[in-house]
Amino acid sequence: MNNQQSGSINTVAILGGGPAASTLATLLAGEGIRVAVLHRPRPAPLLVGESLVPAIIPILRRLGVEDEVRAYAKYKPGAIFNMNAFGDYPFTFKDFCGPLPDYAYNVPRLKFESTLLAAAQRAGAKVFEMEARVERGGRPDQVRLTGDTLTATDNFFGGHPDLIVDATGRARVLPKLLEIPSREGGRKDTALFAHLDRTELYQDGYVHSSRLDHGWSWRIPLPGRVSLGIVIGSEHPPKYGATPEERYDNLLKQDSVLRIATAGATRLTPVMEYTNYQLVSERLVGDGWVLVGDTAGFIDPVFSSGLLIGITSATALFDAIRAGTAVAYQRYEAEVIHHLKTWHEIVNYFYDGRMFTSFRVGEMMRDNLLIRLAYPHVNKHMGRIFTGSAAKASYSMGLMRFLMKYGLKGEDPKEMSIR
């Protein structure tokens, strides 16, 4: 952010109405800042991002919504990874949570978004159900709301807002307008997901992630149903049909893991299909504008990291806005990019097989006295991946990197990689 744009922020326009937008709006309005959320309600019947991690719970408490979320959510005590012939790896939050709550929730996503948006309104934020239009300003890196958008808000900002925050997610309104470069990850995956009436679940409330014949799947138990998603290389889905429904239904029937897990299940919803995972904007801050949430970057649905990064980046941006200095905005940008980069690294350990190969080696060597003594310590820090805290814990990440490099003991990680 240019130096002339730093300083006191009195009015903020947030584009988008998802969790990051609502979190930021609630915090800003609580500080007396005049903030408006400009968005159109989502037309999709369901959305990726239905499982929370313990690191999000303190933020829900800060927003004053945990009790409401608990009333309609599914209690989540942990996660389990099914690695086929290599066994199951369950992780219970209470074993790794440290200062964090020892639980999380699985949430109907659209209802969760409504809860957060209502909290922003209670805090004093104004919500305009409209598509905000933006244009370049007088300076090269400046953006502003168009005149017709300002008119539609009944001059809510008293002119142009001091700051425009892009929380539009995959729509990426400001990056497209300003032609901001982005970095894509090496994977080219497609996600297909829907809700089923039931599936095989080994432990109630646990999110199940399973290695498939190709790709992997999630099973998220929700009240009265299960969200089942399939993440698979984009070259594969066309082999299973012409439409998302055909592809999804045929994968459930033909994949050796899903065929058993979904035997007798009925699909309750249309199938949603997403591509373009692992996309990170190279710039998050500019002249009177900031990117937050999925607009800044999205890595992968594994480990439920998407909502975590989005909501925590909103709290970090709130701190930068409150500080009101160019240095604070630069710190925000560096922190979010570092967080995204670290989660990208963690996700790669999952896909290339190193993560669960190291877990397997640890289990195989439990008879070794040194390994037996070190195992609880290692397990605690590795388990922080699943609470959402590992990416911001430098020691945990350092230990993970050491194990990924030296802890495989000659085992070939390709055997446990995601194909």
At residue 276, does pLDDT exceed 80?
no
At residue 3, does pLDDT exceed 80?
no
Mean pLDDT of 132-161: 95
Strand, coil or helix: 285? strand
Q: Over the stretch 22-37, which tens digit does the pLDDT of each residue have?
A: 999 999 999 999 999 9
**pLDDT of amino acid 393:** 87
Of 237, 246, 252, the closest CA to residue 197 belongs to 252
Quick one: tokens of 85?
Answer: 């012939």
Q: Which CATH class is domain 189-274?
A: alpha beta
Confidence tier at 312 by pLDDT (50, 70, 90)? very high
CB 393 within 8 A of CB 338: no
Q: Over the stretch 349-384, which tens digit does the pLDDT of each residue have?
A: 999 999 999 988 877 666 676 666 776 788 788 888
Of 227, 219, 231, the closest CA to residue 347 belongs to 231
CB 364 within 8 A of CB 355: no
Q: What angle do CA 51, 318, 151 make, to 5 degrees?
A: 100
What lies within 8 Å, CB to CB, of 333 at 6+ separation is: 283, 284, 285
Quick one: tokens of 297?
Answer: 């970057």
154 DSSP assignment: T
Please give the helix or strand (H or E) that residue 397 lies within, else none.
Answer: helix 394-406
CB 306 within 8 A of CB 49: yes
- pTM listed for this prediction: 0.94
Range 3-73+108-183+278-345: architecture per CATH = 3-Layer(bba) Sandwich (3.50)
Instruction: Kindly list the domain boundaries of the chain, sorted by start residue.
Output: 3-73+108-183+278-345, 189-274, 352-416
Of 285, 273, 165, 261, the closest CA to residue 213 belongs to 261
Q: Over the stretch 55-73, which tens digit does the pLDDT of each residue have?
A: 999 999 999 999 999 999 9
